[in-house]
Structure 1
Amino acid sequence: MFVKHDLSMSRLRGQGYDGASNMRGELNGFKKLVLDVNPYAFYVHCFAHQLQLVVVAVVMGVLAVSDFFGHTNKIVNMVSASCKRKDVLLQKYHDNLVVQLEHGEILSGKEQHQEISLARPDDTLWGSHHKTLIRFYQMWDSVVEVLHGISLDGADADDRGLASGLMINMESFEFVLILHLMLRVLGLTNDLSQALQQKDQNIVCAINMIVSVKSLLQKLRDDGWQPLLISTTNFCAARNIIVPNMDDNILARGYPRRSRKMVTCLHHYKVTIFNEVLDRNIAEMNNHLSETSTRLLKCIACLDPRDSFSNFGHDKLVELANIYSIDFSSQERYLLTDQLNIYIDVMKRSDEFLACDSLSSLALKLVQSRQHLVFPLVYRLIRLALTLLVATASLERVFSAMNIIKMDLRNKMGDDWLNDLMVCFVEREIFAKISDNQIMIHFHALKSRRGHLPPQTRVHYAITS
């Protein structure tokens, strides 16, 4: 590919993948092959994929949460097994909304209380767990009514028994507690996931967001139990779900009764579930997102212009130039020290630069004010920082678009034609701004043609006597 497009591997400065072993393998992965040719093509694991790995690890690692999502999947499958059940669910949801509106429990308004349906969670689909739980919370009463109806009038005994068991599990304090807990935890990580999937995301912003989410998770771990318990208790009280006494003893989860391993309800719900989920979440974020603390990314974070360049670090930026020593000669690295001192002084004295809130906006402002010519070495550092990808969500969307363009009816499409169509589809926002006349004029100028593009407007003359 590099040879075809006349590109040089020596100019490669970064590589990012979704974490597949054949791509990021330390011994035989594609990353290793690239680094053997060019050691300056630093690898950054897609942050969005790492975050999804965190969510999956928490779901599969905590027994109570794994059991919760297992029941959630079964409930979704049960109430969505047929068009008839889906219609019943939507009708129940509609009827409940009407009752709540009549009693003034909710307010009506534009784009409020739209028709929704349950969504199935998927480990490989970013944000699907959070979406499922939100819908589950909104349609709780309707789902319970549908399960109750199936338990009474199901087609066979298996369906009736399964629906009855799922309804019992659903209307338990533990199920409601985990629902509220995961809504809060996934709410934080889902916002981060959506931000990381933005097309113009850069490393500095990604690092700051990850640090913020870690801080919020730790705050939830320290101070979030009591508010969670109150909201769960209120939810249960409104639906006649039994709330256990937190001082009562119960059998420890995972132990047989003959072991007589007893714990208090408070210990079970707070330590075994609440603390375990948050501790594992924080630990997994530190493990999977460990690259945020590496030498390279710490140096790049010093370029962040937010908060009046509060993250600026002179020594770290000199170190960054040493990391990319192939792009900076020994003389330039020596000159960079003084240039950084002048640069930060000028930046802090200028209101227009203090208003920058991202690395990309800073680079744009430097070019617009022609300051990139005054501080060429600093601008080179910023360009290198903007080169590295923090997420491959845009690339994932490209692969998804390929399935739209090259379908069964167009499976004989050649590579060149496919590439051209892919460019038009992926960059459709840019192509939408180009007028048809411009395209036809360019096409007509490629070679001489019989007709004229765009067609010239004919002038009609009226003949009068």
Structure 2
Amino acid sequence: MYASVLEVLEIVKEECIHDQQSVEAGVLINAMESFDFVLTLHLMIDILGITNELSQALQRKDQDIINAMKLVQVSKQRLQMMRENEWVPLLEEVSRFCNVFEIEVPNMDSKFKPRGRSVRKCKEITNFHHYRVDLFYAVIDMQLQELNNRFSESNTKLLLCVTCLNPSNMFSAYDKGKLIRLAELYPADFSMIDLVSLEHQLSTYIVDMRTSEEFTSLTSIAALAKQMVKDKKNVVYPLVYKLIIFALALPVATATVERAFSTMKIIKHRLRSKMGDAWLNDCLVPYIEKEVFDSVPNEVIMQHYQKMQSRMQSL
């Protein structure tokens, strides 16, 4: 892929009739044929590989919270291991890559010379310090800090409380104390009387669940909620069912909000900066809920617009 991109850029540089595009292609080639680019490229590939499973898990609507939290811890551990042990293997891999494509590999003991900047205005450091500390360590620390910020101690405790509702392995993750603490986080929905009732309701609930064949084979909180509604257990254990609803809404709402903000940048850009809230909302809903709107036949949509007002001809 790297060689193919360079080849295409070379063609653009040599054959493009527009001078600006030719110059831009030359700049890109110059950047791609540098040690800095190759090192950064390999570093990003490794980091994205470490966090890929976590990223995919957090983007799914039917999130498995237990596995997601486990992946957070695994990603942190792998990033820390990479920081401590994988600088030398990375440097060796990058050096081999550079040798294949005849890219100059700087001497790590030499003084670092930044590209495009005056040497006199830069602090005197070696190439080794720049690439290992200012780049390798800095990027990994940034990723670790981002994970720590997004999954703080309080957020982690909240999600771990939610995992106690998981019915896998005959409700092996069940912990009444954590579920009561989860309810205490929603004072507007659980009064003091509700908390007292919840404690007794949970004790009855777990015995009922573990002795019912319909529930012992369940593997997710979503399946548990469906089965409770099917067997009308949501009426028998209303407070427990409310906790389950909150547990289901929490991760989905987070992922949905993230997707909505990402979509907003696509819909409302500089050419549509004066778009009103109503029109923006009308554009966002079909874009975000593509699966729903794809299932609606075009004929139904045409008939709907046809009936909205009289038209000179049929759509």
* TM-score of the two chains, using structure 1 as the length reference: 0.49
Which of 279, 282, 297 is matched with 2:141 structurally? 279
Q: 3-state DSSP class of the match of 1:250?
A: coil
Which residue in the other structure is 1:251 paired with?
112
* CA distance in 2: counterparts of 1:423 and 1:279, whole angstroms: 37
1:138-197 CA distance string (max 9 Å, x none) = 2x2122223334555565776666544432331222211110111222344455444434
Which residue in the other structure is 1:146 paired with?
8
Which of 215, 218, 221 is matched with 2:83 structurally? 221
CA-CA distance at 1:384 after TM superposition: 2.2
Q: Which structure carries more relative contact order (alpha carbon 8 Å, separation 6+)?
A: 1
Q: 3-state DSSP class of the match of 2:111?
A: strand
Q: 3-state DSSP class of the match of 2:254?
A: coil
CA-CA distance at 1:275 after TM superposition: 1.4
**Mapped pair 1:328 → 2:194:** no
Which of 247, 250, 254 is matched with 1:390 structurally? 254
Which of 255, 262, 268 is matched with 2:125 structurally? 262
1:181-233 CA distance string (max 9 Å, x none) = 11222344455444434344476665454444334333333343344334323
* CA distance in 2: counterparts of 1:422 and 1:165, whole angstroms: 37
Which residue in the other structure is 1:181 paired with?
43
**Mapped pair 1:241 → 2:109:** no
* CA distance in 2: counterparts of 1:349 and 1:239, whole angstroms: 65
* CA distance in 2: counterparts of 1:329 and 1:260, whole angstroms: 61
CA-CA distance at 1:277 after TM superposition: 0.4
Contact 1:201 1:390 (C-alpha < 8 Å) held by counterparts: no
CA RMSD between the two structures:
4.5
* CA distance in 2: counterparts of 1:401 and 1:431, whole angstroms: 18
Q: Which moved more, 1:367-376 or 1:273-282?
A: 367-376
**Mapped pair 1:362 → 2:229:** no
Query: Do the aligned partners of residues 280 and 375 (structure 1) sit closer, same or farther apart at CA in structure 2, a change above 3 Å counting?
Result: same
1:37-92 CA distance string (max 9 Å, x none) = xxxxxxxxxxxxxxxxxxxxxxxxxxxxxxxxxxxxxxxxxxxxxxxxxxxxxxxx
Which of 6, 12, 32 is matched with 1:170 structurally? 32
Which residues in structure 2 correspond to 1:36-435 (within 5 Å)? 138=1, 140-152=2-14, 155=17, 163-189=25-51, 191-201=53-63, 207-246=69-108, 248-251=109-112, 256-257=119-120, 261-265=124-128, 267-290=129-152, 293=155, 296-306=158-168, 309=171, 311-344=173-206, 347=209, 353=215, 355-388=217-250, 389-391=253-255, 392-393=257-258, 395=260
* CA distance in 1: counterparts of 2:47 and 2:288, whole angstroms: 33
Q: Which has the higher helix share?
A: 2
1:397-440 CA distance string (max 9 Å, x none) = 8869989xxx9xxx9xxx89x97x9988876756877999xxxx
Which residue in the other structure is 2:311 paired with?
none
Equivalent residue letter for 2:142: R
1:233-260 CA distance string (max 9 Å, x none) = 33223322233454x3232658824877
Q: Which moved more, 1:308-317 or 1:172-181?
A: 308-317
Contact 1:255 1:261 (C-alpha < 8 Å) held by counterparts: no
Contact 1:343 1:375 (C-alpha < 8 Å) held by counterparts: yes
Contact 1:196 1:206 (C-alpha < 8 Å) held by counterparts: yes
1:102-149 CA distance string (max 9 Å, x none) = xxxxxxxxxxxxxxxxxxxxxxxxxxxxxxxxxxxx2x2122223334
* CA distance in 1: counterparts of 2:51 and 2:148, whole angstroms: 13
Provide structure 1 residue ranges, at least 5 long, that are not aligned to the other structure: 1-137, 437-465
Query: Do the aligned partners of residues 294 and 197 (structure 1) sit closer, same or farther apart at CA in structure 2, a change above 3 Å counting?
Result: closer
* CA distance in 2: counterparts of 1:393 and 1:327, whole angstroms: 25
Equivalent residue letter for 1:228: L
Which residue in the other structure is 1:114 paired with?
none
Query: Do the aligned partners of residues 338 and 262 (structure 1) sit closer, same or farther apart at CA in structure 2, a change above 3 Å counting?
Result: same
* CA distance in 1: counterparts of 2:161 and 2:293, whole angstroms: 37
Q: 3-state DSSP class of the match of 1:168?
A: helix
* TM-score of the two chains, using structure 2 as the length reference: 0.67
Equivalent residue letter for 2:224: L
Contact 1:305 1:311 (C-alpha < 8 Å) held by counterparts: yes
Equivalent residue letter for 2:110: N
Query: Identity over the aligned pairs, expressed in percent?
Result: 38
Larger radius of gyration: 1
